[in-house]
Amino acid sequence: MTETNQNATIITESSEKKSNPGPLGLLGFGMTTILLNLHNAGIIELSVVIVAMGFALGGLAQIIAGIFELKHGNTFGGTAFTAYGLFWWSLIFIWANPVKEVAPADASSLAFYLLLWGIFTLCMFIGTLRHNRATQVVFFSLTVLFFGLAISDFTGSEAVHHASGWIGIFCGASAVYNATGQVINEEFGRQVFPLGK
């Protein structure tokens, strides 16, 4: 390859528009969170529908989005999407309990599991203070959701569990709004869906 061709290749590669993997990750997170929390709120039963969505969209789609965010140099997005994608896979593993030699999860161990995710999410929420308002809403409501579910498992309170489910539905809907807003705003080249500064 001549030097001229090499320069042309470098210019072409550097001027390529990079896609935004954020909406895919937010959509995967949001839709799965809504579905699971319809169960937590007592509206639907826990079924294979939630498990399948958790594996495919909640897990795989978020992990793919996270890897692309890391490739684009976005540590926050890469960490968030990859971690929450693996959260969904670990939750499915807990439900299925394929290792029969290990005791199934009890309320106390699940409470500590959710508490740890709540602490992680609180730390991530602090990071969103440099992001748009829509992203702050997603992470704040997710923090409240994790702590609420942990409290319900620690105390056995069905009322707290159902209330947390409604918070989760709001959280998931806010993530879907954020994802949709990013896609639509980019397509139209202007702010159609306000996301906040």
Q: pLDDT tens digits for 59-117?
A: 999 999 999 999 999 999 999 999 999 999 999 999 999 998 999 999 999 999 999 99
Q: What is the mean pLDDT of the chain?
A: 93
Of 53, 65, 55, the closest CA to residue 26 belongs to 65
In a domain, residue 181? The reply is yes
Instruction: Evaluate whether residue 8 is within a structural domain.
Output: no
Q: Is the pTM of this model over 0.75?
A: yes
From residue 110, give the alpha-carbon distance in Å to each of 113, 151, 153, 165. Answer: 5, 10, 7, 16
- For residue 114 the two structure tokens come to 């959710």
Range of the domain at 71: 20-188
The tokens of 166 are what?
């409604």
How many Å separate Cα 117 from the centre of its chain?
A: 12
The yes-or-no verdict on residue 47 having pLDDT over 80 is yes
Tokens found for residue 139: 């992470």
162 is a domain residue? yes
Mean pLDDT of 163-188: 97
Give the span between the Cα atoms of 73 and 140, in whole angstroms: 24
Within a domain: 50:
yes
Total domains in the fold of the chain: 1
* In-domain check, residue 38: yes
Q: For residue 10, is it within any domain?
A: no
Is 194 contained in some domain? no
Taking every pair of Cα atoms in the chain, the longest distance, rounded to a whole number of angstroms, is: 71
- Per-residue pLDDT band for 11 (boundaries 50, 70, 90) equals very low
Alpha carbon distance 15, 31 (integer Å): 34
Q: What percentage of the chain carries pLDDT values higher than 90?
A: 89
**If you count DSSP H runs as helices and E runs as strands, how many of each does the chain have, helices first?**
8, 0
pLDDT of residue 17: 75
Establish if 48 belongs to a structural domain: yes
Residues listed for the chain: 197
